[in-house]
């Protein structure tokens, strides 16, 4: 059951407001403890009451003035009918004017006693501004923790965007079975749901298209067989040769389409087993013996095991080598096949000296029925071989990369996980 819609924008606004409010509050508290005068007004009433109490005690016992000044570390000035007397923070009598001069920056509190005398108390504010490094450290830690928590919250909000980006990247590489997780019903969740619906429909359309082509190819076999029988009964003629050539081409295309459908069905449920790729390559080279310009192996290890679907791996290697031989030129060197291991991956490469593939078309040739410029020698085939290879590689969780070698020749690199 879907939860209520929660706006991503509102969540970002809330998290930002939370961080701003926390920073302002911590900054205000920090400023108060460092400067000591931000909330000074809140202490006015208690200090006035204390000063009135001290004035009452001094009026009852004038000698208390010296003790109050010494005990509390403040200056006291008493205005009475007989004149003015003052006591410094050390409790000793002092010239009132001199104390006023030295009391710059002190907090002054004036009260009237019940004896109608005026009392002035000078509080040294430096005593209230002593460093509070532990509190400052706590506030800084709280500030950093709050900002880190808000940052984590925002990252969690953006995680579905990362999933969506990975899904789009996978689809751009031809994997239409990709689906992104839907964990919320906000704006990103709605986009993710639309993305999943789109990939599902595209995948269904492609599967229907492939299935239709396979069905048509299968149904064409019977008419072509009857045409071949009828051709055998026709007298020798130029028309018979042309029809025979066309029928053979149609038969070859039908075979390729049926093979593509067979491979597609098999990639949906791989039958993995432990196989030695070195033996596969040796059999492959032997099978292409005598076909110009030939196939050579480079730096083959003694043994290289991999867990994979053996029939599909054979189709993959055969198609790549066959494609390299097909597009080699008359004066080309032999096709070069190499095999190695890079960490947890097996690297299989095929290189030829053919016309090469432009960098801008390196990914496009992996699409079905794509044939490049005939002027560069790309006249042969039906544009399905490399697409078939890509399906097999993706089914095994690997990658395939096509590149041009110095503007002449093509290098195909296949990486498959060992396990």
| Lookup: tokens for 65 | 């003035």
Q: What is the dihedral of CA 306, 308, 311, 315, to 10 degrees?
A: -80
Cβ within 8 Å of residue 323, ≥6 positions away: 381, 385, 386
Predicted local distance difference test score (pLDDT) of residue 378: 46
Helix (H/G/I), strand (E/B), else coil: 309: strand
Predicted local distance difference test score (pLDDT) of residue 339: 94
Q: How many helices (H) and strands (E) does the chain have?
A: 10, 11
- The b/e string for 245-276 (b: 16+ C-beta within 10 A; e otherwise) is eebeebbeebebbbbbbebbebbeeeeeeebe
Please list the residues that pair with 298 across neighbouring strands.
338
CA proximity to 207, closest of 256, 250, 265? 265
CA proximity to 365, closest of 349, 383, 392, 381? 383
| Domains with residue ranges and CATH for the chain | 40-128 (no CATH), 187-266 (1.10.287.130), 271-417 (3.30.565.10)
Q: Give the DSSP H/E element, type plus range, for residue 248.
A: helix 238-267
CA proximity to 62, closest of 78, 51, 74, 73? 78
Helix (H/G/I), strand (E/B), else coil: 192: helix
Determine contact, residues 88/96, Cβ cutoff 8 Å: no
Per-residue model confidence as pLDDT tens for the chain (419 residues): 445 555 666 777 777 778 778 877 877 776 666 555 544 554 555 667 777 777 777 776 777 888 887 887 777 877 877 778 888 878 888 888 887 777 776 777 777 776 677 878 777 666 555 555 676 677 778 878 887 888 788 788 888 888 998 898 888 777 788 899 988 888 888 899 999 999 999 888 877 877 777 777 777 778 888 888 888 888 888 888 888 888 887 877 777 777 777 777 777 778 899 999 999 999 999 989 888 999 999 888 999 999 999 988 998 999 899 989 988 888 888 999 999 999 999 999 999 988 888 878 777 788 776 776 554 454 456 667 888 888 889 889 899 999 888 767 899 999 999 87
Q: Which residue intervals of 116-186 are DSSP H helices?
A: 133-172
The two most distant CA atoms of the chain are separated, in Å, by 152
Rounded CA-CA distance 102/95 in Å is: 11
Q: What is the dihedral of CA 363, 367, 369, 374, to 10 degrees?
A: 0
Cβ within 8 Å of residue 319, ≥6 positions away: 385, 386, 388, 389
Predicted local distance difference test score (pLDDT) of residue 15: 77
Predicted local distance difference test score (pLDDT) of residue 138: 79
Predicted local distance difference test score (pLDDT) of residue 1: 40
């Amino acid at each position: 059951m879907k939860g209520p819609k929660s706006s991503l924008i509102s969540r970002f606004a809330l998290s930002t407001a939370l961080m701003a409010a926390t920073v302002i509050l911590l900054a205000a508290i920090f400023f108060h403890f460092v400067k000591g005068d931000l909330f000074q007004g809140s202490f006015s009433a208690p200090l006035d009451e204390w000063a009135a109490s001290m004035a009452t005690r001094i009026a009852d016992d004038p000698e208390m003035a010296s003790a109050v000044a010494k005990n509390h570390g403040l200056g006291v000035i008493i205005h009475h009918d007989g004149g003015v007397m003052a006591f410094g923070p050390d409790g000793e009598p002092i010239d009132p004017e001199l104390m006023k001069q030295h009391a710059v920056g002190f907090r002054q509190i004036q009260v009237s006693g019940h004896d109608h005398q005026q009392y002035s108390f000078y509080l040294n504010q430096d005593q209230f501004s002593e460093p509070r490094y532990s509190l400052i450290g706590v506030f800084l830690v709280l500030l950093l923790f709050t900002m880190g928590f808000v940052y984590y919250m925002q990252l969690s909000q953006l995680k579905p965007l990362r999933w969506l980006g990975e899904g789009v990247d996978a689809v751009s590489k031809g994997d239409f079975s990709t689906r992104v997780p839907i964990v919320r019903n906000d704006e990103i969740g709605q986009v993710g749901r639309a993305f999943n619906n789109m990939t599902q429909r595209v995948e269904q359309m492609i599967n229907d298209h492939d299935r239709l082509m396979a069905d048509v190819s299968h149904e064409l076999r019977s008419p072509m067989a009857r045409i071949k029988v009828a051709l055998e009964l026709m007298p020798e003629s130029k028309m018979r040769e042309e029809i025979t050539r066309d029928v053979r081409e149609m038969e070859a295309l039908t075979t390729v389409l049926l093979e593509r459908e067979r491979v597609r069905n098999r990639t949906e449920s791989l039958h993995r087993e432990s196989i030695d790729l070195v033996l596969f390559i040796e059999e492959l080279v032997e099978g292409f013996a005598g076909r110009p310009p030939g196939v050579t192996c480079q730096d083959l290890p003694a043994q290289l095991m991999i867990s994979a679907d053996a029939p599909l791996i054979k189709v993959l290697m055969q198609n790549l080598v066959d494609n390299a031989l097909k597009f080699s030129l008359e004066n080309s060197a032999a096709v070069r096949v190499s095999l190695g291991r890079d960490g947890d991956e097996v690297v299989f490469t095929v290189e030829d000296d053919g016309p090469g593939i432009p960098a801008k078309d390196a990914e496009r040739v992996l699409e079905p029925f794509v044939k490049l410029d005939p002027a560069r020698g790309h006249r042969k085939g039906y544009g399905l071989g490399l697409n078939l290879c890509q399906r097999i590689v993706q089914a095994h969780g690997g990658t395939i990369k096509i590149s041009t070698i110095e503007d002449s020749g093509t290098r195909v690199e296949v990486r498959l996980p060992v396990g």
